[in-house]
Amino acid sequence: MVLLFIEWNKGNINFKNTTFWVLAIFFVLFEYMAVSFQAFVLKKFGETKTTVMFVSTGVIISILAAAILPPSLAFLIPLIGYLFLRLKIIFSRNYYYFLFNVSSLGIITYVTSKYLHFAFGYFGNNLFVSTIFLIIGSVIYFLLNIGFTITFLFALYEKISKEIVDFVIGEGKLFNILSTAINALIVYVLYTYIGLFAVPLSLFTFLTIQLGNYYATKYRNSKIELLTALSKSIEEKDPYTAGHGEKVSEIAVKIAEKFGLPKRDIELIKAAGLFHDIGKIGVPGLIILKKGKLTEEEYMIMKEHPKKGFEILKQINEFEDTVAKWVLYHHERWDGNGYPEGLKGEEIPIQARILTIADVYHALISDRPYRAALSREEALKIIEQESGKLFDPQLAKILIELVREGII
């Protein structure tokens, strides 16, 4: 409001500027498009969401406005856009979020525009020079945005925690910032050649990208749903293991969190726990349900299930070098006497080692065809005995702590 008052008194605000209104309209269209598609995908697929790159398309218009409009008009673009899109928030209990978003984006756009116009005026405005300064301007825009957001959250919660920092810059947000800056540069270059027609052309391009992301997500999640159905069908074979995948997943996630693995790995470990026995789809039910000791031939058939699981799971691109390999190695042993490859110690991926101990622990405290469930203390004694042999000693210690603290 202070900026608006100052610029208005100086006579710098000209609402007859056609470019201003064109950009304001397209800011609304860009921002509405991005929000609508992101909300639809998350609501539609819930827990089976994937990591899809959502370009902050409204920001692209803000950066473009900062470059081609005077600062006195550029900073009004987010205000008009958000007034149109989210007016009802002003009358809600969370009105301060709206005020923060509008004011911070307005100030950021104003500062970026001031910088760009100074740079263009001082160093010239040929295409090569202007693109360099636009890149720097995008960096300024996003650094200010991150700084304002962290300051705002600090004011709300009176502390800066790891969760706040992750919320602002984690979960692929920095990659999205980079992609948004690149796309802003592309739109600006197009604008220098074909004028304002570059804006609707870019809108069509981003809409196509969003549609591609949507259908890629839909295809990927249909595969996940099929894998889930396969896992359930395996558990239907054996009533003793009903819910085993979910429990192994929960235990593995708790261990991974305590160990300090990144969030992305923890999400993938959750999936690996659910699907770790999916290779048993190829194992005859008579072997799975056998109450006595397996014959050597039967044991050899059973030992194939990690490989079969790997072959099934690698069909999903993001699982090929993660979940599929962890499932492949979840019967390896710390002492090197496991299968299928006889890996030893830290040769085994940490995620696979976590799956191993989560799988064995839950099997110990569950009924099986060949024995009744053990008590938690009995199971922990076995975990202690096998530490350094079957299990990674550090993970054995973590599991024992989590069980005794009541977290698992």
**182 within some domain:** yes
- Examine the fold and report which residue of 187, 218, 249 is the final residue of a domain before the chain moves on: 218
**56 within some domain:** yes
Residue 144 has pLDDT above 70, yes or no: yes
Residue 66 has pLDDT above 60, yes or no: yes
Residue 196 has pLDDT above 60, yes or no: yes
Whole-model pTM: value is 0.59
Listed residue (360, 349, 324, 353) closest to 244, CA to CA:
360
Q: Are residues 390 and 350 in the same domain?
A: yes
Q: What is the domain extent for residue 163?
A: 2-218
pLDDT tens-place string over residues 85-119 = 777 777 777 777 778 888 898 999 999 999 999 99
Reported confidence tier of residue 52, pLDDT bands at 50, 70, 90: very low
**224 within some domain:** no
Q: Are residues 208 and 283 in the same domain?
A: no
**97 within some domain:** yes
- Report the C-alpha gap between 138 and 296 in whole angstroms: 65
Q: Are residues 202 and 309 in the same domain?
A: no
pLDDT tens-place string over residues 228-254 = 776 766 666 665 566 788 899 999 999
Check residue 338 and give its pLDDT.
Answer: 93
At residue 229, φ and ψ (nearest 5 deg) are -60, -40
- Which secondary-structure segment (H or E) carries 249? helix 244-259
Residue 3 has pLDDT above 80, yes or no: yes
Q: Are residues 364 and 264 in the same domain?
A: yes
Q: Are residues 128 and 76 in the same domain?
A: yes
Q: Are residues 288 and 214 in the same domain?
A: no
**229 within some domain:** no
Listed residue (45, 38, 51, 43) closest to 317, CA to CA:
51
Q: Are residues 211 and 243 in the same domain?
A: no
Q: Are residues 258 and 207 in the same domain?
A: no
Reported confidence tier of residue 173, pLDDT bands at 50, 70, 90: low
Listed residue (66, 67, 73, 79) closest to 31, CA to CA:
79
For residue 240, the SS3 value is: helix
Q: Are residues 80 and 210 in the same domain?
A: yes
Check residue 44 and give its pLDDT.
Answer: 38
